[in-house]
Amino acid sequence: YSGSDLWLRYPEIEDPTLKKQYAKSATAVIVQNAGKNPVHRHTRDLRMEPGSREHLVTTTLEAAEDELVRGLEGLLGTKVPVHTKPGQHVPDGAVVVGTPKTSQIVRRYVDAEKLGTVGDDGYLIRSVSRGRHDFTLIAANTEIGALYGTFAFLRRMQTRQPVTDLDIAEKPRIAHRYLNYWETERLYAGNDETGTGGLNGENGAVFNFAATGESADRNLPVILDRYLVVARALASVGVNGITINNVNADNVYLTREYVEQTAALADALRPYGIKVGLSVKYTAPTDERFAPDTLTEDQLDPYGEEFRDWWHRKAKQIREAIPDFIGFTVKANSEGQPGPQDFGYDHGDGANGIAAALEPLGMTVYWRTFVYNADVDNDRLKRAYLEFGPIDDEPQDDGSVGRFADNVFLQTKNGPLDFQAREPFNPMFGRMENTNQALELQITQEYTGQNTMLCYLGPMWQEVLNTDTYATDADGELLDHRLVGNVVDGTAQGHSDTAIVGVANLGNADNLTGHHFSQANLFAFGRLAWDWTQDSEDIATDWVRMTWSNDDHVVETIVRMMMGSWEALVSYQTPLGVAHQFADGEHYKPYPSQWFLKDDWSPVYYNKADSVGLGYDRSPTGSNFTAQYFPTLAERYGDIESTPENLLMWFHHVPWDHRMDNGRIFWDELVYRYQMGVQYVTWMRETWDSLKPFLDARRWREVRDKLAQHEIDAADWRDTNVEYWQEFSGREIPSDDGPVSATFVVNGTEYGGFDLSADSYRIPIPAGGS
């Protein structure tokens, strides 16, 4: 088995008793009026690749019916009949799906008021008893809500939970749950044989556009099986939008030829509730390929009619092909991308100019805040807030505060640097109270082991979302709800439009994500986007059950491996808050001594190693970046004694003999951390070996091979760094037995806990480095 179905595998349930029980609660599928509301624009022109396994559906309820039939057949091992015209009689054990509009059964058995509480995307799942007849009702206000409920019902069987006596009401906390798809950049999920190049060699994109595809007859508008697998999987976790091209945008996506292809993709995704958007360059209007409809640079005035009309025309053309088009994502004045500052305007002017053009079409601008310029601030981390903060604070003529338009989201990475394995949260969260804020997370493992290292990111995102911003109101009073997650879901500062964005890891690899365990990160992103208060261990458990096995021992073992894997990576790559120690632009291997191209791309800029210590002083005695946080945190992070140890070097230049909480000096602790991280990987590799009898051969072998390389590369991180730091510390490698157990506390729970003094888990650190 290649892993190509992601978590929608539906293998037959082994336990005969349970299978029988489930079968009693799934004797028939009833989705009334499933074919009634076709959502394709171009249904006639859409076609699947030759020999396809998947098939196109034209409505969202058809997708629900299709999934139930497929899922139940797989899990139960027999075909479950579909009743198309049940009338008033609902057979015992039926599963009924619908909305009040489409289903008289829903109208009859569901309380309208209760249904009202789950909103547009939510659903109810209820076990209904009618005398001797029991059936399950999956009801929603919209067809997409019904589809989400269907997946939730199937997930209960996939994870072996009860499907009787149900009374479930669910709805998402965040409205726009989107992916940003950077095409071939930073994917690490390409099929070696058919990979189409890109930055990192193996980066085959998941969607094939003209000239980027594998071969012409597999290019859009032809729909490949894997697009529908992706659509189903994304819908199953509630993702409802994709910006389909790189933020370093190529204007070709705005040409008619490409818009037509995007429209075909949008048609195929639409039944699954997934809308599409595009990344654009700010200067697209000057691109010759749109001639004669081009502007000169002088006409790029965001307040001018030419500029706004141009964007309006383009957006309108797109809408003709894609009626539910999301809008544009813009990376401006960032890493060489053009933007309003090149023409004497600021981000507010630029974003609002495009937003004004889109507003009559009901579209949105996602304006990224990933801006930095070390020359200006002597600390790259300060730039975003310096540029965006004042615009958010600006009083307006109408008496309101904040200049950004209502249909602008500022899209901000979780940390102030760039998707490092652990960052403090970005102080923009909470500080931009007058502007819509979208949180951007990186699902693709650019800085977290790419397609080689097993690193489950659920705990990282849980940590980010649950961090207290200590945000205050205008009177300086602490807000009631002020975690990063509250800022994002609008409850902190009363925002009604909300968004979260994940930079996707999908590619054309057989298993779609390169490393089998990278599938878990896509799954976890969707689940947390839906409800960020969920526990990352529960999410991991669901994923393992749906993807690998329901054997309790296997589930428990794999979940344990996953839960410590991120802390382990932090530990052997960048422990205690030292950041960005990567070689060149590939962002996989270590190179702490490197100085290249630009200061703020260089490991030395971040580590500041010297004879005194290690780390970047951002306290009031240093760059004073800490002042961008609300007072409680500004104070906490500004003082080395109160800074959490896992963020120490983000904020301080830590003396080699600084005393840590456990009594060790900083130097010793640092070395131990590197060692613990590597030993966790060794433990994962050995643990995985022990699972061989329980798992399918191909996937077990592929993961084993990755873990072997993972261990070698983790040891390289440890040795390269420890050896280099030693040149500055001048101290011996600590020579006692080191940590006796590698445990990592993840969101309050301890993982690992195995004994590292046992010889098998000890890789001695070579004296004096490697």
The residues of the shown chain that bind ligand BDP, judged by CB under 6 A, are: 185-186, 247-248, 331, 335, 370, 418-419, 446
- Indicate the residue type of 504: A
**In angstroms, rounded to a whole number, what is the distance separating the alpha carbons of residues 146 and 110?**
13
- 80 secondary structure, DSSP code: P
Residue 136 Cβ vs ligand BDP, minimum distance, rounded to whole Å? 44
Contacts 24+ apart (CB under 8 A), 318-323: 318/254, 318/259, 318/262, 318/278, 319/361, 319/363, 321/41, 321/259, 321/260, 321/262, 321/263, 321/266, 322/41, 322/259, 322/262, 322/263, 322/266, 322/276, 323/41
| CA–CA distances in Å: residue 570 to residues 454, 557, 567, 646 | 12, 21, 5, 9
Q: Which of 387, 418, 433, 719 is catalytic?
A: 418
In a 3-state reduction of DSSP, which class is residue 436?
strand
Question: How far apart are CB 367 and ligand BDP at their closest, in Å?
Answer: 12
Cα–Cα distance between 486 and 489 in angstroms, integer?
A: 5
Q: How far is the CB of 683 from ligand BDP (least distance, A)?
A: 30
Run of H or E including 364: strand 364-368
The pair of structure tokens assigned to 743 is: 């445990």
Give the Å distances, CA to CA, from 483 to 416, 425, 432, 521, 531: 17, 10, 14, 22, 14
Smallest distance, Å, CB 335 to ligand BDP?
6
Smallest gap from Cβ 506 to ligand BDP, in A, equals 16
Catalytic, 759? Answer no
């309050």: which residue's tokens? 748
Q: Least distance (Å) from ligand BDP to the CB of residue 423?
A: 12
Alpha carbon distance 282, 358 (integer Å): 14
Q: How many CA atoms lie within 13 A of 619 on its CB side?
A: 19
Closer by beta carbon to ligand BDP, 5 or else 423 = 423
Widest CA span in the chain: 83
Closest chain position to ligand BDP (CB)? 418
| Nearest CB to ligand BDP, comparing residues 424 and 613 | 424
Residues recorded for the chain: 770
CA 130 to chain centre: 43
CA atoms within 13 A on the CB side of 532: 28
Catalytic residue, from 15, 320, 335, 375: name it.
335
What distance in Å separates the CA atoms of residue 95 and residue 76, rounded to the nearest whole number?
Answer: 14
DSSP type of residue 486: H
Q: Smallest distance, Å, CB 434 to ligand BDP?
A: 24
446 in active site: yes
What's the min distance (Å) between Cβ of 185 and ligand BDP? 5
Catalytic residue, candidates 143, 446, 489, 719: 446
Asked about 335 being catalytic, the answer comes back as yes
Q: Which is nearer to ligand BDP, 281 or 308 (CB)?
A: 281
Nearer to ligand BDP, 335 or 556 (CB): 335
Interatomic CA distance for residues 330 and 246, integer angstroms? 10
Q: Give strand pairing partners of 741.
A: 755
What positions carry a catalytic annotation? 335, 418, 446
